[in-house]
Structure 1
């Protein structure tokens, strides 16, 4: 699959869990994605900046700054930019209801699709019992996650040298451990219940780094995934349909199978 020769334009784009300020952030791929994909509205669905990590040690290379500038440039060119903070960028929750640099900051928002459906857009950490009731455990889990990402770096260095594609140790582990699978299921159920309580057709969220697009007990549940492991975003087309886009390198485009309802796109 060849790289697209011009920008794609969508009605809306949803991006979450970028974790700018961390070594695991795949800012170069996100920047490439932003260069080739535009939308009338761009929703930043939390954990765009990792305040937790930046508090411990400062890490902000040029590609991370380039991502911020690219998003702000889209706003200057007419796109609506909505920032919904998550737990890693919760410092922005002190600024809910404000605008800065053309960016709206809100805790959640209802998105209306082109075909008249309504979706709750929220990061989702509010429905994570660990974040709500044992934040110390969340910090501990974050440390373990960073360690796993460090191991990923070495594993994938070897894989690239022998011609294999990227493989995520941490994502594999999360899906293989029974408790992690159960957590994902409970999270999806909690978000779907909240969407039902608010009387909307679906929910679009992030937080758990697990992209999804499926029906959950009559509610359309969409998770944007992340830009640390899977490099996924969600797009609403101009007819109101949704798509989970997995952004991969050109050499990997034909080799990386996408999960159900996802489409690989060459970067």
Structure 2
């Protein structure tokens, strides 16, 4: 029997060294669901145009999603900017996986959320693509550096996982301003559609919070923070941080109502 009603995943970035495919597989094994929504940047064609790193674990992720779709679980794929080439196939079903540009999801308790990757609200990605590509390379460098920093921290006996990318986002004012502008733009778009909120990805900043009476929910990523949104059968939405580092720690769950606050600093470092 399904353990949860819905899963919302974004920014897996298959095809890159930074993809945390093993942790995603562990998460999927623990969360059978009635429906799974893949909200963009699932396959990183941007990075793969430079170099490809496709591991067995990443291959297993694809196979597992296909098996779940064939077994009757609804699987919906909403392309993002890193896999935007697949937007040409919106409206088509591949291997029982629906490909759509965006959609409205109704929770078990009747709330309606816009599901969209979110690059539409990113002015840099929309109008200055070269800057976005440069930023993508810089982020990839931070994630690689973090791998070595985590190894050093473990050797020094420092507990927990520390995110270099998350630290930079919290400390650099321009990064914070970008995040706030992005969140407000996403909520404004949902309000114009008469919806209760938005569930998106894109900025690798997992959170659940209320903005002007609407719910803003970001799935985070499976590169750095390893986070996802889970809908339970009563309609309650939960942000799950599955952990990171070389070993699989016990998962940390941060539960909150859809329009309630979540400690963003804890989520970013989970």
- Fold match by TM threshold 0.5: yes
Q: 2:84 matched to which residue of 1?
A: 90
1:217 Cα deviation after fit: 0.3
Q: Gaps spanning 5+ residues in structure 2: where?
A: 256-260
Are the counterparts in 1 of residues 239 and 253 from structure 2 also a CA contact under 8 Å?
no
Q: 2:100 aligns with which of 86, 101, 106?
A: 106
Give 1:8 shift: 6.6
Corresponding residue of 2:250: 253
Secondary structure of 1:248's aligned partner: coil
* Separation in structure 2 between the aligned mates of residue 189 and residue 50 of structure 1, nearest angstrom: 26
Aligned to 2:258: none
Match in the other structure for 2:231: 236
Deviation at 1:251, TM superposition (A): 6.6
Query: Does 2:62 align with 1:58?
Result: no
Aligned pair 1:19/2:13, yes or no? yes
DSSP 3-state at the match of 1:225: coil
Q: Contact 1:165 / 1:252 at 8 angstroms: preserved in 2?
A: no
Unmatched runs of 5 consecutive residues or more in structure 1: 1-6
Q: How many residues align?
A: 257
**CA offset digits 1:108-139 (Å, max 9, x no partner):** 00001111111000000011000010000001
Go from structure 1 to structure 2 and tell me whether the alpha carbon gap of 1:251 and 1:107 turns closer, same or farther (over 3 Å shift). Answer: closer
Aligned counterparts of 2:254 and 2:200: Cα–Cα separation in 1:
20
Residue by residue over 1:134-181, the C-alpha shift from the partner in whole angstroms, topping out at 9 and shown as x without a partner, is 000001111111111121111011112233332111111011100100
CA contact (8 A) 1:152 1:168 kept: yes
The separation in 1 between residues aligned to 2:65 and 2:122, in whole angstroms, is: 28
CA offsets, 1:63-116, max 9 Å, x none?
A: 110111111111111110000000001111010100001100011000011111
Q: TM-score, normalised by structure 2?
A: 0.90
Moved more, 91-100 or 164-173: 164-173
Question: Structure 1 residues 207-216 or 243-252, which shifts more?
Answer: 243-252
CA RMSD of aligned residues (A): 2.0
SS at match of 1:93: helix
Q: Judging changes above 3 Å, is the alpha-carbon distance between structure 1 residues 140 and 251 closer, same or farther for their aligned structure 2 residues? A: closer
Q: TM-score, normalised by structure 1?
A: 0.91
Instruction: Name 2:201's counterpart in structure 1.
Output: 206
Match of residue 131, structure 2, among 103, 124, 137 = 137
Choose from 52, 59, 62 the match for 1:68.
62
Q: Counterparts of 2:65 and 2:102 in 1: how far apart (Å)? A: 19
User: 2:109, 2:234 within 8 Å by CA — same for their partners in 1?
Assistant: yes
4+ residue runs of structure 1 moved beyond 3 angstroms? Answer: 249-254, 256-264
1:207-250 alpha-carbon deviations (Å, 9 max, x no partner):
00011111110111110000111100001111111000011267
> Which range is displaced more, 243-252 or 194-203?
243-252
Task: Specify the SS of the correspondent of 1:111.
Answer: strand
